[in-house]
Amino acid sequence: MKKVSDYIAEFLVNLGIRHVFVVAGGASLHLIDSIDRNPDIDFICPMHEQGAAMAADAYSRVTGNFGAAIATSGPGATNMLTGVCSAYYDSVPVIYITGQVSTTRLKRDTGVRQIGFQETDTVQIYRPVTNYAVQLQDAKDIRYELEKCCHMAKSGRSGPVLIDIPDNIQRENIDPEKLRSFTPQPKNPISEKLISELQQCKALLQGAVRPVIVLGWGIRLAKAEAEMRELLEHLGFPVVPTWAAADMFSYDNPLYVGTFGTHGTRHANFAVQNADLVLSIGSRLDTKATGSPISTFAREAKKIVVDIDQSELNKFETFGLNIDLKINMDARDFVLWIKKEMADMRTKDISRWKKKISIWKKKYPICPKEYRSQKSVNPYWFVKKLSQQCAENEIIISDTGCTLAWMMQAFEFKKNQRIFHDWNNTAMGWALPASIGAFLAAGGRERIVCVIGDGGLMMTVQELATVQKLRIPIKLFVFNNRGYSMIKQTQDQWLDSRYCASSEEGGLAAPDFLKIASAFDFAAVNITKNSRISHGIKKAFDYDGPALCNVDIDGDMRVIPQVKFGRPNEDPEPLLDREEFFGNMIVKPLDVSMK
């Protein structure tokens, strides 16, 4: 006989999970105790359940396997929710376990709000943002539900799962040999319709003269990176990755154009918007990728979208974007099929198209030379210098806001570097607890580079204590502009630069981060001038333990370029002279571009 909580700990070990992120509470103690008693798995104690959920999310992203986090009932479960959303919207398979009040104290169908202390209907809260959410009602179902959770987390479009376990069931004894198992349904064979669509895709690839390939996070989820690189080398087509796939290519790869979209690079947007074929693999093409209105996206191109989620394919018609070919398929399966077919695939000569893209890249660099000569810290110049000092195989964690946009526009990736972010939920503060999960997932490699804004850091600042407790050699670069610059940029565009709730003057606090570093026993570095960037980065890197580098950035710095709502992606602010703009357009400019 075995205690249920012991069975759960052993189950997690057999999945290859070596760390579980936990916050103790009355309804989770047996689960945590069982993990402590198992020699093959450790628990890690973040300071907040949100941090636990985010750390588990990053743990899964780095390992390519499951992550796991445990919280107690009520506020423990609700605190974890933001991190669960981060995993859900990025299709990350994480096992979230919540304790629950004993079955004898459940409200059931009484109509009251609560019977047991800290009772909350966790399953109903989590159901919209998980692949599967269930409350265990019988100890004998533990194997079935855990196996079903694992299947649902990685079946089709992957994502997090939740199992809510009442306290008394955690303490029950079971006979593992008598537990029923979960048997998944077999996969459907490839259909004739899909085969026909793949043949159409091949024909469109063969006929393109101005093609671009959009690569998304789905390539990573499908573990198709190596096959995708081989395919691209054969095709020779220019690549415009979404932010989540930007680290798949070194910045000097001749096929790499740059990131595109409303916060992308000007040259990459010219390439996408002037293309005659866009093949998107593993990207949901959200509105930050397409711009608004969505109908302006690559409007004269044939568009092929490959996505494992049929609902993502169906949405385009609803929102007004015509997609010529929608292929409902796993990204890896698609790439393998195209690779097999490419032996006899002859494509058009696209040398003129590649030359045009090369001209755009040289003409519109994201970090022009004049940025270097500025006295105060220019964030684009900082990111460029940071990328120069980061090593190959480095793990970089970025937070949201202008920090993320500056990183994804200007960072020059090297071979085997990885950057992680919660790309779709993009929660302020994700990067710090994610750095903890990433460090442990990577086996305690030398360091983690974390770039975060002052606002984001204050959302999860308590996790500095967790970093210090574990002595993680995190190098934390805080873009300190004393406010929310991306919000301020929107206020510039629409609200006459009234910085309510986005600046010190508008109500925000601006703490002294060097004092915060001292309080948590971090080494402290301060960068206030462009000329001291390289020295400051090296100083932070040279410390053996955790270091916080305060990067003092003027509050007026903005994301440049950025597409204002209502303009097509090829026409971001600051607007080019109209004659120059028209000279870059191969397809017909829209009326809004002429204003």
Contact by Cβ (8 Å): 25, 80: no
* pTM for this predicted structure: 0.96
Q: For 114-130, give the secondary structure using H, E and C.
A: CCCCCCCCHHHHHHHHC
Question: What tokens were used for 395?
Answer: 């793990």
**Which residues in 276-393 belong to E strands, given as ranges?**
277-281, 302-307, 325-328
Q: For residue 534, what are the CA distances in angstroms to 230, 451, 527, 542?
A: 36, 15, 9, 12
SS (H, E, C) 520-580: CCCEEEEECCHHHHHHHHHHHHHCCCCEEEEEEECCCCCCCCECCCCCCCCCCECCCCHHH
- Is the dihedral angle over the CA atoms 517, 519, 521, 524 positive or is it negative? positive
DSSP per-residue letters across 489-527: HHHHHHSTT--TTTBTTTT-----HHHHHHHTT-EEEEE
Residue 575's pLDDT is 96
What's the confidence (pLDDT) of residue 592?
Answer: 60
- The predicted structure's pLDDT at residue 595: 46
> Using DSSP, how many helices (H) and how many strands (E) does the chain show?
26, 19
User: Could you give the CA distance from residue 70 to residue 97 in angstroms, rounded to a whole number?
Assistant: 5
Q: Buried (b) or exposed (e) across 493-504, using 16+ Cβ within 10 A?
A: eeeeeebeebbe
pLDDT in tens, the chain (595 residues): 999 999 999 999 999 999 999 999 999 999 999 999 999 999 999 999 999 999 999 999 999 999 999 999 999 999 999 999 999 999 999 999 999 999 999 999 999 999 999 999 999 999 999 999 999 999 999 999 999 999 999 999 999 999 999 999 999 999 999 999 999 988 888 899 999 999 999 999 999 999 999 999 999 999 999 999 999 999 999 999 999 999 999 999 999 999 999 999 999 999 999 999 999 999 999 999 999 999 999 999 999 999 999 999 999 999 999 999 999 999 999 999 998 887 777 889 999 999 999 999 999 999 999 999 999 999 999 999 999 999 999 999 999 999 999 999 999 999 999 999 999 999 999 999 999 999 999 998 779 999 999 999 999 999 999 999 999 999 999 999 999 999 999 999 999 999 999 999 999 999 999 999 999 999 999 999 999 999 999 999 999 999 999 999 999 999 999 999 999 999 999 999 999 999 999 999 986 654 4
The residue whose two tokens read 């919207």 is 89
**Extended strands (E) in 441-490:** 448-453, 474-480
CB atoms within 10 A of CB 348: 15
Burial of 13 (0-12, 13-18, 19+ CB in 10 A): middle
Domains and CATH numbers, the chain: 2-178 (3.40.50.970), 192-363 (3.40.50.1220), 377-552 (3.40.50.970)
Residue with tokens 């001291």: 532
Alpha-carbon separation of residue 150 from 14, 163, 590 (angstroms): 12, 11, 48
Count the Cβ atoms, other than its own, within 10 Å of residue 104. Answer: 10
577 φψ region: left (φ > 0), alpha (ψ -120 to 50), beta (else): beta
In angstroms, the CA 427 to CA 83 distance is 8
Coil, strand or helix at 325: strand
Report which DSSP code applies to 324: S
Is residue 7 within 8 Å of 1, Cβ to Cβ?
no
- In angstroms, what CA-CA distances link 398 with 382, 488, 537? 14, 20, 16
Q: How far separated are the first and last CA of the chain, in Å rounded?
A: 76
Contact in structure between 522 and 476 (CB atoms under 8 Å) = yes
Measure the CA–CA gap between 365 and 353, rounded to whole angstroms: 18
163: phi > 0 → left, psi -120 to 50 → alpha, else beta; which? beta
CB 296 within 8 A of CB 589: no
Instruction: Decide if 562 contacts 552 (C-beta within 8 A).
Output: no
Q: How far is CA 301 from each of CA 197, 253, 358, 558, rounded to the nearest angstrom?
A: 18, 24, 20, 31
Q: What is the pLDDT of residue 212?
A: 98
For the beta sheet containing 211-215, the strands, ordered from the edge strand earlier in sequence to the opposite edge, are: 239-241, 211-215, 277-281, 302-307, 325-328
H/E element holding 83?
helix 81-89
| CA-wise closest residue to 530 among 416, 386, 427 | 386
> Please, are residues 124 and 81 in contact by the beta-carbon 8 Å criterion?
no
| Confidence (pLDDT) at 486 | 97
Nearest residue to 303 via CA among 315, 293, 288, 316: 316
Burial of 183 from C-beta contacts in 10 A (0-12 / 13-18 / 19+): exposed
